[in-house]
Amino acid sequence: MTFIIFARWFGVVSVILSLGILFNLEDALDMAKHMVKSETGYIMGGVLPTIFGSLALVFANSFKPGWHLVVTLVGISMLVIGIYRVMFVNHWKALISRHVEYIPFLFSLFGLMLGVILLYVGFIATSFQFIIK
């Protein structure tokens, strides 16, 4: 799996999930309130970012300037966030509980921004590179 495949795949998933949440904010708020109190929040909030962040680093670990670096930085940030959420569960749950009404919209907003960037990296930027070469 190259960084292009990872960017395309994770970009599509991120945009679809973000739009789903954006169009169903009230339902997403109810789910967020329930997730803070259950194991689902632990899995969705900590385990999945750790898995996807580590996958990004395994398959796209490069610090040379360019789109490899963007995917690597996304992977590093996801891994750090996942590790924080897994290691400091009580602190993370308390933080989320205090701001749960903002979580669905912000999650959707940042997920959409991340997804659009990754789709650009995976589909548009790489197409121009192949045309130029």
Whether pTM exceeds 0.85:
no
* Whole-angstrom distance, CA of residue 79 vs CA of residue 74: 9
**Tens-digit pLDDT profile for residues 94-112:** 888 899 999 899 999 999 9
Neighbouring C-beta atoms of residue 27, cutoff 10 Å: 12
Using pLDDT thresholds of 50, 70 and 90, give the confidence band for residue 120. very high
**Tens-digit pLDDT profile for residues 5-27:** 888 998 999 999 999 999 999 99
**Tens-digit pLDDT profile for residues 57-89:** 887 778 888 777 888 888 899 999 999 999 998
The interaxial angle of helices 67-87 and 48-60, nearest 10 deg, is 150
Mean pLDDT value of segment 112-127: 88
Q: Is the pLDDT of residue 38 over 90?
A: no
Contacts of 65 (CB under 8 A, 6+ apart): none
Q: Cα 36 to chain center, whole Å?
A: 18
Q: Is the pLDDT of residue 132 over 70?
A: no
Residue with tokens 């970012």: 49
Residues 104 and 28 sit within 8 Å (Cβ to Cβ):
yes
Count how many Cα atoms sit within 13 Å of the Cα of residue 81 in the half-sphere of its side chain. 14
Neighbouring C-beta atoms of residue 77, cutoff 10 Å: 14
Q: What is the model's pLDDT at position 131? A: 55
Coil, helix or strand at residue 1: coil
* Whole-angstrom distance, CA of residue 19 vs CA of residue 24: 9
